[in-house]
Amino acid sequence: MLNSNFIKSILIVFLSAFAFTNGQTNDIFSPQNRLKFGNSLFYQKDYLRAIGEFKSYLNSENNDTVKFKMAFALSQMGRHIEAEDNFKGLFFTPDLSEEAKLEYFKSNFFRNDSKMFLQLINNSPFIPEKYERNINQLKQISMLTEENSIPDTNEIKNLFSEIEKIELMKFYFRKVNPEMKSPETAAWLSAIIPGLGKIYAGEIGDGITSFLFTGVLSFLAYDNFKADHKFRAWLFTGLAAWFYGGNIYGSAAAAQNYNAGVKYGFDNDLKIYLNSKNYYLPEYEFLNK
C-alpha cells in the first residue's frame, strides 16, 4: 500500500515537472528564446529583425547588454539619431557606461556633420575616460573632414602610432595645401589667350581645341571682312565671339570642376583609409556572444 502511494506521488511530481519544463523550454516566444534568436540574427547582421527580438525581450526583462546591442544595431543600420538616444539611456549603467558614451559619440560622428560633432565633443561632459583617446582621434579625423577646421599636428603625433601618423599627416598636408585652381584666374587666362584657362584647369585637350576654334573663327571673320564678304564676315565674328565668351565661362567652370574633384578625391581617399582602420575604434567581444 505504502509502495503504491509512493509511486503515485513520484508520478505526479514528475509529470508536473515535465509539464512545467516542457512549457518553459519549448515556448519559442519566451523572452529567453527571443534573446537567443535575436543574438543569432544580430550575429548574422540581420539587424532589423534582431532589433525586433531585442525589443520583445526587453518588454519583460531588463538587460543593459541587450539594450546596448539594440542601439549598436541601429547605429550599424545608419539610424544614428535613434542609436544616440538609445546609447544615452545607458550612460549611467554600471558595466557599459563608457562603451555607451563612446558609441554615442561614434553615432554622432557618423551623421557626417563634423561641425556638430566638434561642438558636441567640446561641450559634452560625457567624454568617456576609458576611451578618451578614441574620442580625441575621432575629433582629429573630423577636423580633417570639416571644411573650416585644421587638425592639430601635435595631437596627431601624440594620438596615433608611427605608421598611422605618417598616413594622417599626408592627409593633413593635402587638406592644408589643396591643389585647387582659381576660377577667376582661369577666366582671366582664357580672356587673354583663349583656351589657356582650360589648360590651367587641367583640361589640356579642351584648351587646345578652344584655342584653335576661336583662332580659326576669328581669322575667318578677319579674312572675310578683308575679302568684303559681309554676311560671312559677321557670321564668323558672331561665332568667334560666342566661342570666346563661352570659353571664358567654360574655363571658370572647369576650375570649379577641378576643385570639386580635388575635394571629392580627398574625402574619398580619407574615407577608404579610415574604413580600413575602422576609424580607430575598438571592437567589443561581448557583442559576438
Binding site for another protein (CB under 8 A): 3, 6-7, 10-11, 14-15, 18, 21-22, 25-28, 33, 36-37, 40-41, 46, 49, 52, 213, 216-217, 219-220, 223-224, 227, 232
Instruction: Report the 10 Å Cβ neighbour count for 26.
Output: 9
DSSP track, 204-240? HHHHHHHHHHHHHHHHHHHHHHHTT-HHHHHHHHHHH
Least distance (Å) between residue 220 CB and another protein: 6
Cα–Cα distance, 22 to 100 (Å, whole number): 38
Nearer to another protein, 50 or 186 (CB): 50
Cβ(81)–Cβ(111) below 8 Å: yes
Instruction: Report the 10 Å Cβ neighbour count for 67.
Output: 21
Least distance (Å) between residue 249 CB and another protein: 20
Nearer to another protein, 19 or 166 (CB): 19
Cβ(184)–Cβ(253) below 8 Å: no
Nearer to another protein, 127 or 216 (CB): 216
Nearer to another protein, 28 or 192 (CB): 28
Least distance (Å) between residue 28 CB and another protein: 5
| Exposure string over 156-182, b if 16+ CB within 10 A, otherwise e | beebbeeeebebbeebbebbeeeeebb
Least distance (Å) between residue 53 CB and another protein: 8
Nearer to another protein, 10 or 150 (CB): 10
* CA triple 8-10-13, angle to 5 deg: 110
Least distance (Å) between residue 40 CB and another protein: 5
